[in-house]
């Protein structure tokens, strides 16, 4: 972690001293480093294998917030808040701040041989507890 911060500081010092026009790049690179760190910490603490995608959910009408347009309403989230997507099984969006959010869903693990997945065991449970599925074997 310290190594990553040293690299970022070096890049920022170079940009500040040599390339005046790109100064705000430092803020964005530090945000990305923090976002990746949050993802690793979350994965470690929850002990899950998940499919994650970093997406931009920003809207100029709501600066600094994640804006998720669900068919019946618009959800506004601040840093650290999350919303479960009812239209997708066991999927949530976790707001990482400044319009950036992490779309999280269950990792696909193949069922045992001669078996198949059926419904989710706990459809309404919080993520990642909702990832468990019923298995039927032939």
Does residue 86 contact residue 130 with C-beta atoms inside 8 Å?
A: no
Whether residues 115 and 56 share a domain: the answer is yes
11: containing domain? 1-47
Does residue 26 contact residue 11 with C-beta atoms inside 8 Å?
A: yes
Whether residues 27 and 77 share a domain: the answer is no
Cα distances (angstroms) measured from residue 136 to each of 39, 43, 124 = 33, 28, 21
Q: How many helices (H) and strands (E) does the chain have?
A: 2, 8
**Could you tell me the two tokens for 132?**
């468990």
pTM value?
A: 0.61
Whether residues 20 and 70 share a domain: the answer is no
Kindly report, residue by residue over 108-134, the tens digit of the pLDDT. 888 999 999 999 898 888 888 888 899
Q: How many independent structural domains does the chain possess?
A: 2
Whether residues 134 and 90 share a domain: the answer is yes
Kindly report, residue by residue over 60-115, the tens digit of the pLDDT. 999 999 999 888 889 999 999 999 987 888 899 999 989 999 999 888 888 999 99
């Amino acid at each position: 972690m310290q190594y990553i911060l040293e690299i970022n500081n070096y890049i920022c010092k170079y940009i500040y001293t040599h390339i005046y026009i790109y100064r705000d790049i430092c803020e964005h690179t530090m945000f990305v480093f923090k976002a990746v760190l949050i993802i690793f910490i979350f994965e470690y603490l929850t002990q899950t294998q998940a499919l994650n995608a970093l997406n931009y959910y920003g809207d100029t009408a709501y600066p600094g917030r994640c804006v998720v347009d669900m068919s019946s309403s618009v959800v506004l989230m601040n840093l650290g808040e999350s919303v479960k997507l009812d239209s997708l099984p066991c999927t949530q969006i976790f707001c990482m701040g400044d319009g950036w959010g992490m779309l999280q869903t269950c990792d696909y693990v193949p069922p045992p041989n001669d078996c198949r997945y059926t419904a989710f065991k706990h459809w309404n449970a919080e993520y990642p507890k909702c990832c468990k599925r019923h298995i039927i074997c032939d």
